[in-house]
Amino acid sequence: MNKTLLIIIGTFAAVVSASWYFLRPPSESAMIAAAEKAGAAGKPAITANGSGSVMVLDGLQNKSTARISSARTVIPLKSALAQEFEKARHLKAFYDRYAADPDGADAETKFFAALAMERCVGRGRGSQGPSEADKARFQSRLKENDPGNAQRIEAFTRVTETCEGFANVNISAADISRLYREAAAQGNAAAKVAVASDLYREQARNARGIEERRMSEDQLAMVRDALGTGDPFAIERAGQLLAWGSTQLADRKVGPNGDPYNARDWGPAWQLAACDRGANCGSDNYRVLNGCAYQGACGYDSLETYLQFNELAPNVYAAALQNRATILDAIAQGRWDWLGIAAGMGRTVTPAAVANSAGGARTTSTAPPVPVKRGG
């Protein structure tokens, strides 16, 4: 009997050992190797237990020499006006609020009026929203009897009706820039980034080479001051300026480990960081609605899931999640060097004056620059 008992125990131990071996979680080195392989192939790294990019991200974060926070709880917007703007179907009311009392308008009223104008006004007059002909043309491009058509039509309506009422309002780019400057002078964080962006574009007109095209120390200080407030509009605008609107980070190393900068991985990270600080990133986000209307990519409950499954490759999405955490950690800890905007990281060479057609020196113009269309 003892011999039989020993055989049973031995068999049981062998089964347990084999089960543990085949079902054990992957080691950190295996996860990092899977992430690197996925990055090279542009495919999700599937580990031994079947998990994808989330497990890869955990492995990458464990490898980091600095502590990077995990996903954060969304912090609601503190301002009632900001909440109203983020959920508004029509933006003209924010311009009307400012126009009713321009002299008495506070910084926030001016900022959201400028943002509404900027989103809806191009060169000349604004948009009146979709006409019946526009709607008919859009519907004619949809597949007949497609069950997703109703969602696409609703998304199209939401995207195109935003600027209804602006048709008879003649607003210049100078008006938009002026309002941003006034709002910034009164302390609005996102307006400060808008002003820094305008100043940078003016500076870059005469710039030659990477160093001359970096932001000035004054511009970097404006961006740091704005980011320090945690304002989601400031975070989103700063991301647009740093990732796509300037060459501040060209040939620079960023993040806690000093990794080479890659706009592809950092661009969406700034948007996701703004989401964590209260920006509207739900199913009615403009980018989500636009994707549903024009691409048929409907049914996403948030901007993050839309980006994950519709726009970003798995390795880019995983990198964006880690960079999103780095951005928020850098802001919370004042580690501006992680974002490439610390004091001393501005341009080291001043752009030289460029000769005009008459042979004289042309210096940087003081006229308000024409702003590009921004999100936020």
- Residue 32 exposed, middle or buried by CB count within 10 Å (0-12, 13-18, 19+): middle
* Per-residue model confidence as pLDDT tens digits over 66-125: 444 445 577 877 789 999 999 999 999 999 999 999 999 999 999 999 999 998 875 345
Q: What's phi and psi for 352, nearest 5 deg?
A: -75, 155
Q: How far apart are CA 86 and CA 92, in angstroms?
A: 13
Q: What is the pTM of this model?
A: 0.72
Whether residue 316 has pLDDT greater than 90: yes
Q: Residue 17, CB half-sphere, CA atoms under 13 Å: how many?
A: 6
- Residue 105 exposed, middle or buried by CB count within 10 Å (0-12, 13-18, 19+): buried
What's residue 302's pLDDT? 94
Whether residue 39 has pLDDT greater than 80: no
Whether residue 364 has pLDDT greater than 90: no
* Per-residue model confidence as pLDDT tens digits over 261-274: 999 999 999 999 99
